[in-house]
Structure 1
Amino acid sequence: MIYGYKRPLYNDEDCIEQTKKLNDFQVSYVLKEKHGSPKKREALEELLMTMQKGDVIVVEKFIVLADTLHHLMDLLKIVKKDGVSIRFIDEELSSDRVLEESLSTILSHFIRFHSDIIKQSTKLGLETAKSQGKSLGRPKKSDENIKKAIEMYHSNHYTLLDIKNETGISKSTLYRYLENTEV
């Protein structure tokens, strides 16, 4: 049997791209996670419990299936032991063909996978922070300090270092505000 597997990702929250790519294969059954988090991946667990010798799992790319290199290696060991293969569409790899690939090809896939891991965990972290009401990004400088820094700059009596020490406004921030006020 050929199984498809998909889950929400940083660049495909509704699994639209994954669905398109899975439709190009003769997938018998598709399992979809309800979330993109690495925890409680119930559809993946169901898939691992359901598969039998000779089955094939089709996924768009490494990050769909695994959250870390260690997790990917564990899954590859499990499917090998069970006589199942995994087809990675974007990487154009199959778990039973990995040894036929060159080291540079495999490493380029792993580099992209690592980048995807970072993007996915960053997206999940930002969503968690937002849901907890945390403000994102660098804190804004107070208007009082900005006004004082601009006044000090225009007085021509202070160096940029004096302005920074007095107000906490860096040279680049000061220049950015000066550009916005000089219209």
Structure 2
Amino acid sequence: MKLGYARVSTQDQSLDLQKDALIKEGVELEYIFEEKVTGTKSDRPKLKELLSYARKGDQIVVYKLDRLSRSTKHLIELSEELEEREIELVSIQDKIDTTTAIGKAMFKMLAVLSEMERDIISERTKAGLESARARGRNGGRPKMSKEQLDHAIDLYETKKYSIKDITEKTGVSKAKLYKELSERKEATSNS
């Protein structure tokens, strides 16, 4: 069975172009999963619904690959999931069809390039950290002194200052302040 996925980024945009292309490709209208949500969001209910609906032997058809995934990494993860589940993928505009040998090869190439990109980023990061350490810089967040934390907690407990005021006065981050409050509360409740 051919299943379609159409997505636009905003409520104002129209899905008509994508839906027309999917129908021309042989997807029946009732099997087109439509979504109006930005591609940067990982929570896409209709995509999840499509993936749970799809079965072995089905084809997922998209107008373009960027409609399906928010990043190369996400696309590779999706393609691996589809391959494991024996579900084919067709991208109309990108001319990729995993039902063909060339389409499968293209996806494998994407996977290799994505892995290489991750490795290069990792190597650059490690080299940058080594270079910084050689210059006496350790990186990461500066250590928080006990005095700073105690001062932030004291200000918090006066109930006279907002969290923003406390973080600006003490240099203690909001997350660190809440973490410390939680740890102290837990320590007093356990004793």
Residue aligning to 2:24: 24
Query: How high is the sequence identity, in percent, across the aligned residues?
Result: 28
SS at match of 2:94: coil
8 A Cα contact 1:6 1:59, kept in partner: yes
The structure with higher relative contact order (CA 8 Å, sep 6+) is 1
AA partner of residue 64 (structure 2): K
2:37 corresponds, among 35, 38, 55, to 35
Q: Tell me how far apart the structure 1 counterparts of residues 81 and 25 of structure 2 sit (CA, whole Å).
A: 23
Q: Tell me how far apart the structure 2 counterparts of residues 100 and 77 of structure 1 sit (CA, whole Å).
A: 13
8 A Cα contact 1:9 1:64, kept in partner: no
Aligned residues: 105
Q: Structure 2: which 5+ runs fail to align?
A: 114-191
Kindly provide the CA deviation profile for residues 109-143 of structure 1, in whole angstroms up to 9, marking residues without a partner as x.
x9xxxxxxxxxxxxxxxxxxxxxxxxxxxxxxxxx
In the TM superposition, residue 21 of structure 1 has moved relative to its aligned partner by 0.8
Residue aligning to 1:72: 75
Residue aligning to 2:177: none
TM-score normalised to structure 1 length: 0.51
Show the 5 A alignment for 1:38-117. 38-97=41-100, 98-100=103-105
Q: Tell me how far apart the structure 2 counterparts of residues 96 and 85 of structure 1 sit (CA, whole Å).
A: 6
8 A Cα contact 1:3 1:56, kept in partner: yes
Residue aligning to 1:15: 15
Q: Structure 1: which 5+ runs fail to align?
A: 111-183
RMSD between aligned alpha carbons? 2.6
AA partner of residue 89 (structure 2): I
In the TM superposition, residue 36 of structure 1 has moved relative to its aligned partner by 2.4
